[in-house]
Amino acid sequence: MTPQKSTIVWIVIVLMCVAIAYTQYGYFRQPVAGESKTGLEHNLVSTGVAKDGIPSLDEPVFESVAQADPYLDDAGYGIVVEAGARSRFYPYQILVWHEVVNDTFGGVPILVTYSPLCGAGLAFDRRGTDGPLSFGVSGNVYNNCPVLYDRADGSLVSQLDPGLPPYPSRVMVWQEYKRAYPRGQVLSRETGTVRDYTYDPYGDYEETHAVWFPLDAMDESQPLKAAQFASDGSIVQPHYWFSFFLKNKVFE
């Protein structure tokens, strides 16, 4: 074999080895069941509640404002979504027991989440490339906020950022919602599970300074559990303390 041919053979062998190594690395680095796509698994804290111990609502039932009004607290909060002339209200009184609702509204599969630990109420568009995604409660938290799992592959995602496009939503108190949307739909107590939806299992947690699970860092410029608002921009999501709005009244 000539030196030139020998060099070509060695180059081919080296390239084949590199290709095999890359393929094997890619295979073994694919998220497996229970692994986070974002590295959350290295910072997870167990709540002591088993996976699906907090049951998500996957076939939610809705009722009228008049039907829901007798048991809902006028000062109680909930997540509101709208599509055309239709609206839905997801009361925290119910979400505190379930945290996750896999719903379809206006023909769009949406994910509605609420965390009693960090007070975040959010909605996302859960359409995936192979159909609607479905999420459950993993029983773990990261920075005192719930970690969900994707039922398709078991991968873990943060409740605050599940990697889905946000679905327009806002938080309102029940008294305001029923006045503004008398024909709205309200998430019903008919959940398929036995719960007392007039009782908050977290007690006075929201009013205390206690944080049940570890935080990576704390902002000492504001009290613990001080309310924040997030503005969804095209590049960044700036956060503003509620006290900022109380002081400035108007912000543009």
- pLDDT tens for 152-186 read 999 999 888 888 999 999 999 999 999 999 999 99
Q: What is the mean pLDDT of residues 209-237?
A: 58
Whether the per-residue pLDDT at 28 is higher than 80: the answer is no
Whether the per-residue pLDDT at 247 is higher than 90: the answer is no
Contact call for residues 94 and 216 (beta carbons, < 8 A): no
Q: Residue 11: what are its φ and ψ, rounded to 5°?
A: -65, -45
Can you give the pLDDT at residue 96? 96
Contact call for residues 61 and 188 (beta carbons, < 8 A): yes
250 vs 122 pLDDT, higher one: 122
Helix (H) or strand (E) holding 180: helix 174-180
Whether the per-residue pLDDT at 18 is higher than 60: the answer is no
Contact call for residues 219 and 225 (beta carbons, < 8 A): no
User: Over the stretch 95-146, which tens digit does the pLDDT of each residue have?
Assistant: 999 999 999 999 999 999 999 888 889 999 999 999 999 999 999 988 878 8
Cα–Cα dist 92/192, whole Å: 17
Whether the per-residue pLDDT at 189 is higher than 80: the answer is yes
On average, the pLDDT of the chain sits at: 78
